[in-house]
Amino acid sequence: MSLTNITIIGGGACGISAFIELFLQLRIAGRHRQVSITIIEENEEVGKGLAFGTKQPGHILNTQASLMGIHFTEPEHFSEWLIAHEHRVAEEVVDNQGENEAFTTRRLYGDYLKEQFEHYFKLAQEEGMHVQVIHASAIHVKQLEAGFEVQMSGNETHSCDFLVLSPGTPVANNYPDLEGKENYFGSPWPSSAILENIPKHADIGILGCSLSAVDALMTLTDNDYKGKITCYSPDGLMPRVQSQSQQMVDCKHITIRNLHQIQRNELRNPTVKEIFRLFMREAEAYAGGKIDWKATKRTDKPADQLLAQDIEIAKNGGDALTNIPYSLRYESSEMWKWLDKSEKLKFKKWLGNYWSVNRHCMPLVNAERVNGLFKSAQLRVVPFLQDVVFDEKKNAFQLTYDDGEEAFEKYIINATGPAASVEMMKSELIQNLAKGGIIEPEPAGGIKINTETMQVITGHVPYPNFYAIGHITNGLLLDVNAVWFNVKMIGNLSRHLISQIIGNAS
């Protein structure tokens, strides 16, 4: 009797978590000998994707260890693992060692992922389950009468009954005209390209000033780059700073309950305006008085001054604008689901950049290092970036900003961060799936999915046997750039997928 095959495209954090949870639940249901699991991973190693495949010591987790556990319902598993392995991992813990709030290098987290995967892969084999890793790039997927055929590099194909798409975080294809230019680096990762091709004393331009740009800065600092570094970005907003001891706010205004009251009283979903008004009330309650909201505007203030202030605020427990979004960690994704499509787009347009700098702050360790670069005048941030073109005559990149100001850079690193829209995702697989109508882009970003089961949807119909997880679901789901959230969704995905198999076999 042929085995039912589940195939996972992408052996990163999400792929591994899905593999382990599917194996566990099939083993517990006693069906692990009738089902096989295949991971298709283009890297040599499983667990070492874009985020956690880095080798740079300055690339650290931007989430505390107690939220990084790879096992469903066990977010603390990584911090427990750290404490259990303290003797061999201590050097990779960069802050709050031995505590749940520990911050480690991302490369250590990649080792943890690989170790967890190898343990459960071996256990699955010992338990008599057929499991395999195919090291190849998935390029396209063809829907068969039952199941799918995955087309891979080297003209290889692989057929499966169930398919899970977890290709991680494709970089953005937002400067196509610069692609292929000698000194243009389309992404801060992998850092080897930068380190091998940019001289240590060169001046460097970085596009963007978010967490991805902080990664680029850490790569340069870790490797003793001495030249001037300039970050260019449309809003010039750097991430704020994570407080050392996060004060969680017991929200009274911006709550799921209050949003449901709007649904019940108005028979419609809440609007961004209503949610923001509730946020303002919450912030003023937390601050103990009126807030001058105009003064919270950041785009007209120098980034170095803001960072110095943010470091002090973080050392003193944070403020309303950071602590409330962090305290809404588990509710904000539910609130996001209740926003209609048009309201999601409004949120991204009106509040998107303020939400991300306050909700996705940099760890204090890195903030101090960036502050050092400002103080030594090695770093500056230039806001109001308008355009970047390559000037053949000058053999340099011309950057225009602030209504006609211009600058020239010989070396450019694109650190504008992952692409939100499918169209901008630099991935042959995703582009082929979109062109082939196998996936459908969502206006707010990513692809159409059922946000409860994680099934992929085209038209209005969910595939019975096709799921997606991670960044590719960034439009309909909010916290896809967090392991804790993706692992939670993997719990839902696994239960639904397995219920289909068990259902089928009865």
Candidate list 4, 5, 15, 494; residue touching ligand FAD; CB under 6 A? 15
User: Taking CB under 6 A as the rule, does residue 82 contact ligand FAD?
Assistant: no
Cα–Cα separations (whole angstroms), residue 316 to 80, 247, 310, 408: 27, 10, 10, 40
Which residues lie closer than 8 Å to 155 by C-beta, 6 or more apart?
none
In contact, 485 and 470? CB cutoff 8 Å? no
Residue showing the smallest CB distance to ligand FAD in the complex? 12
Candidate list 7, 11, 321, 388; residue touching ligand FAD; CB under 6 A? 11
Structure tokens at 49: 């994707």
CB-nearer residue toward ligand FAD: 166 or 183: 166
How many residues are recorded in the chain?
506
User: Taking CB under 6 A as the rule, does residue 14 contact ligand FAD?
Assistant: yes
User: Taking CB under 6 A as the rule, does residue 206 contact ligand FAD?
Assistant: no
Look up residue 117 and give its amino acid.
F
User: Taking CB under 6 A as the rule, does residue 75 contact ligand FAD?
Assistant: no
Q: Write out the binding residues for ligand FAD, residues 212-271 only, by CB under 6 A.
A: 215
User: Taking CB under 6 A as the rule, does residue 434 contact ligand FAD?
Assistant: no
The helix (run of H) or strand (run of E) holding residue 186 is: none
Q: What is the 3-state secondary structure (H, E, C) of 403-438?
A: CCEEEEECEEEECCCECCCHHHECCHHHHHHHHCCC
CB-nearer residue toward ligand FAD: 52 or 121: 52
From 30-38, 373-381, 391-399, 480-488, give the range in contact with ligand FAD by CB under 6 A: 480-488
Q: Judging by beta carbons within 10 Å of its beta carbon (0-12, 13-18, 19+), is residue 126 exposed, middle or buried?
A: exposed
For residue 484, the minimal CB distance to ligand FAD (Å) is 6
User: Taking CB under 6 A as the rule, does residue 482 contact ligand FAD?
Assistant: yes
For residue 298, the minimal CB distance to ligand FAD (Å) is 23
Q: Write out the binding residues for ligand FAD, residues 36-65 only, by CB under 6 A.
A: 40-43, 49-52, 61-63
Nearest to 337 by CA among 479, 489, 476, 444: 476
User: Taking CB under 6 A as the rule, does residue 167 contact ligand FAD?
Assistant: yes
Candidate list 5, 10, 163, 466; residue touching ligand FAD; CB under 6 A? 10
CB-nearer residue toward ligand FAD: 15 or 318: 15
User: Taking CB under 6 A as the rule, does residue 20 contact ligand FAD?
Assistant: no
CB-nearer residue toward ligand FAD: 121 or 397: 121
In contact, 445 and 484? CB cutoff 8 Å? no
CB-nearer residue toward ligand FAD: 107 or 272: 107
User: Taking CB under 6 A as the rule, does residue 69 contact ligand FAD?
Assistant: no
The position carrying tokens 């390209």 is 193
User: Taking CB under 6 A as the rule, does residue 446 contact ligand FAD?
Assistant: no
User: Taking CB under 6 A as the rule, does residue 13 contact ligand FAD?
Assistant: yes
- Is residue 374 classed as helix, strand or coil in its secondary structure? helix
Backbone dihedral angles phi then psi of residue 166, each to the nearest 5 degrees: -140, 65
Q: From CA 368, how far away is CA 364, in angstroms rounded?
A: 6
Nearest to 243 by CA among 318, 349, 293: 318
In contact, 140 and 432? CB cutoff 8 Å? yes
**Count of chain residues binding ligand FAD (CB under 6 A):** 33
User: Taking CB under 6 A as the rule, does residue 166 contact ligand FAD?
Assistant: yes
Q: From CA 291, how far away is CA 307, in angstroms rounded?
A: 20
Give the per-residue contact string, 393-432, with ligand FAD (x = CB under 6 A; - = no). Answer: -------------------------x----------x---
Q: From CA 495, how far away is CA 499, in angstroms rounded?
A: 6
- Is residue 401 classed as helix, strand or coil in its secondary structure? strand
Structure tokens at 399: 């950057």
User: Taking CB under 6 A as the rule, does residue 168 contact ligand FAD?
Assistant: yes
Residues that bind ligand FAD (CB under 6 A): 9-15, 40-43, 49-52, 61-63, 137-138, 166-169, 215, 418, 429, 470-471, 481-483, 486
